[in-house]
């Protein structure tokens, strides 16, 4: 899925599994009445300036609004709380999400996506529509893979669990979708070769959405990694690169 080609250099600096027993690490807590960008997440839009996309505080969380032709979302690139996500090991990503609206101009695109890549840059990208959740395949690259019909219009506590070579998505405690983890690193965007990486938002210019997120947590049994030493002076360089649209 398109993850802001312009942003790639800075971002590069940066079946069924059993729940792990370690204490989860909170990466975003909507009860704090602050945006994810105030809790360690890197929020970016494309275009960088003059975008209609927005992140807005709402009671208990944040609402992300992104038009079809734009991209917007939160990257874990600089988040101090992200631990090592073990390749082949067990870990969980918990998040509470409501998809208010979604529009797509391509059946292989989604207005809201979740990307999780482990320490070997292997994982899964899930696309959220109003009536289903589905996986992005890696062969052919970024095509519509396995899916589950599901009403995403209400607040749902999701758990995305990884173990061995597989993943399982739970919705309010019930297994909803499972399959093999994917390797998207064949794509030229270096984001898909990133390790211990999370993304929440709209990463394509072929779809848009209005989504409300309440919380994000990770349970891997590992301590948070040291924050990467990235100078914010590098960020302006991100937007001098050619843009890319996935058709």
Q: What is the pLDDT of residues 140-184, one digit of tens each?
A: 999 999 999 999 999 999 999 999 999 999 999 999 999 999 999
pLDDT in tens, 178-203: 999 999 999 988 899 999 999 999 99
Q: Which of these CATH numbers, 2.60.120.560, 2.60.120.620, 3.40.50.1980, 2.60.40.10, describes 5-230?
A: 2.60.120.560
pLDDT class for 227, splitting at 50, 70, 90?
A: low
Average pLDDT over residues 121-130: 98
Which element (helix H / strand E) includes 62?
Answer: strand 61-66
Alpha helices in the chain (DSSP H): 8-13
- The two three-digit tokens of residue 160, written as one number: 């995305």
**CA gap 120, 128 in Å, rounded:** 25
Q: Which of residues 191 and 18 earns the better pLDDT score?
A: 191
pLDDT of amino acid 222: 74
Q: Where are the domains of the chain?
A: 5-230
In the chain, % of residues over pLDDT 70: 82
How many helices (H) and strands (E) are present in the chain, helices listed first? 1, 15
pLDDT in tens, 52-109: 999 999 999 999 999 999 999 999 999 999 999 999 999 999 999 999 999 999 999 9
**CA gap 160, 90 in Å, rounded:** 11
pLDDT of amino acid 23: 77
pLDDT in tens, 48-58: 999 999 999 99
């Amino acid at each position: 899925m398109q993850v802001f080609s312009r942003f790639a250099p800075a971002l590069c600096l940066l079946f069924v599994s059993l729940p792990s027993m370690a204490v989860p690490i909170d990466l975003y807590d909507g009860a704090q009445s602050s945006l994810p960008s105030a809790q360690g997440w890197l929020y970016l839009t494309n275009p960088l300036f003059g975008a209609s996309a927005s992140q807005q505080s709402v009671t208990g969380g944040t609402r992300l609004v992104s038009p079809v032709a734009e991209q917007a979302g939160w990257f874990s690139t600089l988040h101090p709380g992200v631990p090592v996500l073990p390749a082949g090991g067990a870990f969980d990503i918990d998040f509470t999400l409501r998809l208010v609206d979604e529009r797509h101009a391509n059946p292989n695109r989604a207005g809201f996506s979740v990307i999780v890549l482990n320490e070997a840059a292997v994982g899964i990208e899930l696309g959220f529509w109003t009536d289903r959740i589905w996986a992005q395949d890696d062969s052919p690259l970024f095509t519509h893979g396995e899916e589950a019909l599901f009403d995403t219009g209400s607040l749902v506590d999701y758990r995305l669990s990884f173990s061995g070579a597989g993943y399982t998505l739970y919705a309010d405690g019930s297994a909803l979708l499972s399959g093999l983890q994917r390797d998207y690193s064949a794509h030229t965007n270096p984001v898909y070769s990133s390790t211990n990486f999370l993304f929440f938002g709209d990463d394509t210019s072929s779809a848009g959405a209005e989504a409300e997120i309440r919380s994000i947590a990770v349970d891997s049994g590992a301590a948070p990694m040291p924050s990467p030493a990235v100078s914010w002076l590098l960020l302006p360089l991100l937007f001098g690169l050619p843009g890319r649209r996935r058709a």
